[in-house]
Amino acid sequence: MKTLALLFVIVLLINLMPAFAPPTWMAMSWVGFNIHEGNMLLVAAVAASAATAGRLTLAALSRSLVRGRWLRDADRQNIDVVSTWLGKHREKTAGAFLVYALSPLPSSYLFIAYGLSALPLGFVGAAFFAGRIVSYTIWAHLGRFASSLVDPEALFEGQYLGVGFVLSQLAFLGLVYGLMKLDWKLLLEQRKLKWRRPLRQSNGNDAGSVGS
């Protein structure tokens, strides 16, 4: 019981981090390496619950802090165009979260981006939870199977905070910024990609210069 409680706390903290967190699949593989008895489905369910709670909290913070306080009105209106589209395609959105949750790709950026919308979090959280149970169970069983074949320290050595990992995190942060700056109205209505330019403030000299 203590092991499961500790696992829940560790996975929750990992999934609360917006960037540069160690991948949860590594933690699940480590569990498989070191726990040779017990129900891996139960372990995966505990980890998936913690991961979902962490990601939904991250999305809620993104909504209240980034959208509510830091975004300009023009950026907020641009994101609302995507929110309207996603709201009309809830099944596709939930399916995308489910499929993404089956992969080992980092999900923090997905929830940060989704949190910028004004859409409910519950249905994507349920889809993410279902996908994570499946993927975490697989990783835990793979770790248990590999424990008899390789040294776990050799397997995980150098995997976290390597150059490739840092670069991938920076790339995902850049992707979230880029998604905010796309002209979504033009993309969804005319299927054209365009970088939205910031509005220029009038300096007062553009008023009609009659009399010159």
| Domain residue ranges in the chain | 2-190
Q: What residue type is assigned to position 67 of the chain?
A: R
What does 36-102 look like in DSSP terms, one character per residue? Answer: -SS-HHHHHHHHHHHHHHHHHHHHHHIIIIIIIIIS-HHHHHHHHHHHHHHHH-HHHHHHHHHHHHT
Q: Is the pLDDT of residue 118 over 90?
A: no
Which residues are registered as beta bridge partners of 195? 182
| Phi, psi at 195, each rounded to 5° | -80, 120
Kindly state the tokens that stand for 147. 């424990």
SS3 call for 204? coil
pLDDT band (50, 70, 90) for residue 139: confident
Task: Work out the pLDDT band at 36, boundaries 50, 70, 90.
Answer: low
For residue 15, give the 3-state DSSP assignment: helix
Model confidence pLDDT, tens digit, residues 50-75: 999 999 999 999 998 888 777 778 88
CA 88 to chain centre: 21
- The predicted-structure confidence for 143-197, as pLDDT tens digits, reads as follows 666 655 555 555 445 455 566 656 666 776 777 777 677 777 777 777 777 777 6
User: In terms of Cα–Cα distance, which of 114, 8, 137, 139 is closest to 61?
Assistant: 114
Phi/psi at 44 (nearest 5 deg)? Answer: -65, -40
List the one residue out of 58, 140, 155 whose CA is nearest residue 107: 58
Across all residues in the chain, what is the average pLDDT?
A: 78
pLDDT classification of 111: cutoffs 50, 70, 90: very high
